Amino acid sequence: MEDGKELELDGRQADRNDEVYDAVFEMCRIFAENPDLEWDMAFIGEIADCAASVLARHGIRVRFPSVVTNPDGSQYIAEYYGED
């Protein structure tokens, strides 16, 4: 973090997350058998995180960029889920 500014994902990283969220939303519409299901990040984000966690637990590397904030307030961008 520079000059008190919070880090932000770059365009490539944001595009990747949009791709992930779009895929999760499509899966939700299929599971719910509801092509008119409304977009809601409350469940889309939770399901994306859960899916990334399950895949990572099974040894699959998941590209799901995020800004990580440490307890001391410092930040870094993790390109892959669970990356330390």
CB 72 within 8 A of CB 6: no
More confident residue, 5 or 41: 41
pTM: 0.87
> Is residue 41 classed as helix, strand or coil in its secondary structure?
helix
Question: Does residue 34 form part of some domain?
Answer: yes
pLDDT surpasses 80 at 3: no
Question: Does residue 73 form part of some domain?
Answer: yes
**pLDDT at residue 72, as a whole number:** 94
d(CA 53, CA 71): 21
Overall domain count for the chain? 1
Question: Does residue 2 form part of some domain?
Answer: no
**pLDDT at residue 63, as a whole number:** 97
**pLDDT at residue 13, as a whole number:** 98
Six-digit token string for 39:
């977009």
**pLDDT at residue 6, as a whole number:** 83
Residue recorded with tokens 């409350």: 42
Six-digit token string for 64:
């799901």
Q: Residues 68-76: what's their mean pLDDT? A: 93
d(CA 58, CA 27): 20
Q: Which domain holds residue 46?
A: 11-80
